[in-house]
Amino acid sequence: MTGEETGRLWRALGFASARDEDMVFTETDLEAVRAVARTVRDGELDEATVLGLARAVGRSTDRLAMWSLQVITDMVTGDDGIGVDSRVARLAAERAVEVCDELTPLITYVWRRNLAVAISRMIADSEPESHIGVRRTIGFADLVNFTQLTRQLGERELAALVQRFESLASDVVALHGGAVVKTVGDEILFSHTTVEGAVAIAFDLIDQAAADDLIPRMRVGIATGRVLARLGDVYGNTVNRASRLSGAAEPGTVLADSDVAAALAGHADVRAVAREAIHLPGIGQITSWVLSRRHGELLSPP
């Protein structure tokens, strides 16, 4: 590979360009370039695909590294309320380096399992004729009055709240076989292949937030239809409807579109009550439906 090719790979991975006089490369870097060069030379992947994969790996592992170091640092600081001074920083760094080799096989294992799940979903989504997008039920859940809370909480309390929210949401989505698309501060975007599964996630998120002393109440918007899934994210009118519905939902409620309500018609566990037509920015006038459990019964995970 030429210097220009390796430079493009380096930037795609998210690393800053090195100056000619900097001593920053090791044998490990050389082996990584060799592996990439082999896949292109053998015709397994073309250069554009390699660069796309490099960006995916770079962005994902950048967040993984920061997240991993943060939870290790939280363990080092404990509950004594101290910040990250130079002593804590050194201790956390040493512990992260110590466990790095042990955790590397886990990262490879989880990636392969998730790749298998992604392949299964792609096969299940395939249809005899080509269609743009795949069918998904999309949910947006956000924390009520989060902006006000950020003014009242200290930095440590706010960090604990965000971490608790992400942990709770991730666990609930995984329990019902859904997928977390992304979390942004006080909001989580999730998807499911079935309407029932997404609604079960929404109900559990509302209930668990209400039972948690730290997390404020949630509200959830749900829409179903075709979405465009690209680079780990989802796009389209279905996603926009779910987002706008979450903003229009009352605290502690689940607000759905008409397609979700129609899919739940006759469902023994769920009640759907139509609201007056509402205007959603960028969407227009739609009929929304408030969803609730019948007699406190739970939807069974799919």
**Structure confidence at residue 203 (pLDDT):** 95
Q: In sequence order, what are the residues at sequence separation of 6 or more whose Cβ sits closer than 8 angstroms to the Cβ of residue 37? A: 1
Average pLDDT, integer, range 194-219: 90
Q: Among candidates 111, 114, 2, 9, which has minimal Cα distance to 58?
A: 9
Determine what percent of the chain is predicted with pLDDT higher than 70: 94
Q: In sequence order, what are the residues at sequence separation of 6 or more whose Cβ sits closer than 8 angstroms to the Cβ of residue 104? A: none
Q: Which domains does the chain have, with CATH numbers?
A: 3-100 (no CATH), 133-293 (3.30.70.1230)
Q: Among candidates 138, 149, 160, which has minimal Cα distance to 244?
A: 138
**Structure confidence at residue 85 (pLDDT):** 81
Alpha helices by DSSP H, listed for 212-280, are 237-248, 258-263
In this predicted model, what pLDDT tens digit does every residue of 175-186 receive, in sequence order?
Answer: 998 999 988 878
Determine what percent of the chain is predicted with pLDDT higher than 90: 33
Name the band, by pLDDT with cuts 50, 70 and 90, for residue 296.
low
In this predicted model, what pLDDT tens digit does every residue of 234-268 receive, in sequence order?
Answer: 899 999 999 999 988 999 999 999 999 999 988 88
- Residue 298, classed as helix, strand or coil, is coil
Alpha helices by DSSP H, listed for 126-211, are 146-152, 155-175, 195-211
Greater confidence (148 vs 165) lies with 165
Average model confidence (pLDDT) across the chain:
85
Pull the structure tokens for residue 196. 């029932």
Q: Specify the pTM.
A: 0.73
Q: Between β-strands 179-184 and 134-143, what pairing exists: parallel, antiparallel or unpaired?
A: unpaired
**Structure confidence at residue 261 (pLDDT):** 94
**Structure confidence at residue 222 (pLDDT):** 96
Residue 69 has pLDDT above 50, yes or no: yes
Residue 144 has pLDDT above 70, yes or no: yes
